[in-house]
Amino acid sequence: MAKLIPRTQLADAGVPVSDSEERRRAASDPDWIPHVMIGRRRYYSSDAISCWIDAHQRTAEATGVAMSSC
């Protein structure tokens, strides 16, 4: 079973986004990392984070877009 990561720890999980960007993208970006709400708190599956990072790296490599290093 995948570990649930609170939204405040996304940067530690390899997704360096600001708090406001995370809230905005979770609310309106269909390509954002899938998440679950438990009460009023948003959590991300560690597997979903890894999958999302891998997919974005593959897309960047295929299009020749440089990814910033973390």
Whether the per-residue pLDDT at 64 is higher than 50: the answer is yes
Whole-number average pLDDT of the chain: 88
Q: Residue 63 has what pLDDT?
A: 78
Asked whether residue 59 is domain-assigned, the answer is yes
Asked whether residue 21 is domain-assigned, the answer is yes
Which domain covers residue 40, as residue numbers?
4-63
Q: What is the mean pLDDT of residues 32-39?
A: 95
Torsion, Cα 40 21 57 55, to 10 degrees, reads 40
How far does Cα 35 stand from its chain's mean position?
9
Count the domains in the chain: 1
Asked whether residue 34 is domain-assigned, the answer is yes
pLDDT category, 42, cuts 50, 70, 90?
very high
